[in-house]
Amino acid sequence: MNILLTGSSGFLGRNLCQMLPSDYHLVTLSRSSAAITVDLSTDVPSISTSCQMVIHGAGKAHFIPTTEAEAEEFFNVNVKGTENLLRGLQKSDKLPQYFVYISSVAVYGADTGHMIDETSPLLAKDPYGKSKIEAEQLIQTWCAENEVICTILRLPLMAGPNPPGNLGAMIKGIEKGYYFNIAGGKAKKSMVNIVDIATIIPKVALLGGVFNLTDRYHPNFDELSAKIAKQLNTSKPSNLPFFAAKVLAVVGDLLGNKFPINSNKLEKIMADLTFDDTKAVKVLGWKPKLVLEAIIIK
C-alpha cells in the first residue's frame, strides 16, 4: 500500500517512518528532505504517485503566541495547509481510500478536567486549538463528499525519543538540574507513546472515526520526572513548595513570557487534565503501553 505521509520531518513523522509496517510504501511530504518538498501553508502539492492512504501529520506545534503574526501562523499552517493538501489530492490521478488526521486534545479547549471523551464539545479559544478544529472540519467534509474513510486521532502529549515542546523542555531541565516539581508534582496529565500511535494507525484507518488515544494511566509530574531522571542517571528533581511557586508566578506576571512561570502556567501545572480513550479500547482493541514503562527519551 502506498501511503502519503505529510509532516515526515517532524517529531511524529520521523518516528512513523521508522515504525509503520514494512509493507507500507511511504511517500513523504515535508518542507525539506522528503519525496515531495512543499510548504503546504503557501502551495498546493503536486502528487504524482497514487496513494491509497493519507496520514496528515503536518502542522504547527502548540505554543503560546505573543503576536498577531504568530497566532495567524497556526491558521496558515494547520488550516490553509490542510486546504492545499486536499486541493492537491483532488488534482491527483486517484483519490485515497483512507485519510488519517493527526489532531490534538487541544480542540476541547480544557485546561483542567477528568476523563474528557470524544463527545465533549470543541471549545478551544486559543489559535492552536481553533486551527485544529477548523482542519478537522475541512477534512471530515472533504472525506464525506469524496467517500473517503476518515479517521481523526486526538492526541495528548506524545512520548518518544528526543521529544520537542513541553516534554523536551522538561527533560532538558532535569538534565541541567533546574527543573522542580511544584507542590509534590501530583497533577495527572494524559500522555501516549508514539510507538502505540504507529501500531494502531493501520487498524483504525480502515474503520474510520474520531478517537482520543492515551496510555490509560495518566502519570503525574512526580512519577514522570523520576522516570526521566533515572534514564538520565541523575538525581530525582527537588520539590518547590506551592507558596514559593506562587511568588515566582507573580514575578513572572510582571516580567512577561520570557520568565519560565506565571500565574496562568502555574494554574495549569497544578490541575489534572486527563482524557478518556474507552472508545478506542472498545472499537479498536486499544492496548497501549504505560508511558512510565515504555518511555525512551534519547
- Domains of the chain from N-terminus onward: 2-163+190-214+274-292 (3.40.50.720)
What values do phi and psi take at 260, rounded to 5? -65, -15
pLDDT at position 258: 77
pLDDT at position 256: 82
pLDDT at position 61: 87
How far apart are alpha carbons 241 and 160 in whole angstroms?
A: 30
208 and 150 in contact (C-beta within 8 Å)? yes
Question: Which uninterrupted H or E stretch holds 143?
Answer: helix 127-146
233: amino acid identity, one letter: N
pLDDT at position 208: 98
Reading the chain (298 residues) residue by residue, the pLDDT tens digits are 999 999 999 999 999 999 999 889 999 999 999 999 999 999 999 999 999 999 999 999 888 787 899 999 999 999 999 999 999 999 998 999 999 999 999 999 999 999 999 999 999 999 999 999 999 999 999 999 999 999 999 999 999 999 998 899 999 999 999 999 999 999 999 999 999 999 999 999 999 999 999 999 999 999 999 999 999 999 999 999 999 999 999 999 998 877 888 998 899 999 999 999 999 999 999 999 999 999 988 8
Give 151's strand partners. Answer: 100, 209
pLDDT, one tens digit per residue, over 185-211 is 999 999 999 999 999 999 999 999 999
pLDDT at position 215: 98
Q: Which of 47, 50, 149 is nearest to 98 (CA)?
A: 149
Give the dihedral of Cα atoms 108, 103, 172, 214; nearest 10 deg: 70
Number of helices followed by number of strands (H, E) in the chain: 11, 13
197 and 13 in contact (C-beta within 8 Å)? no
pLDDT at position 62: 83
- The 10 Å Cβ neighbour count of residue 196 is 22
Alpha-carbon distance values, 293 to 33, 147, 201, 289 (Å) = 33, 40, 22, 7
pLDDT at position 65: 81
Which residues does 167 contact at the CB level (< 8 Å), separation at least 6? 157, 158, 159
Range list of H helices, 147-277: 165-176, 194-207, 221-232, 242-255, 263-270
Residue appearing with cell numbers 531522571 = 229
pLDDT at position 165: 87
pTM beyond 0.85: yes
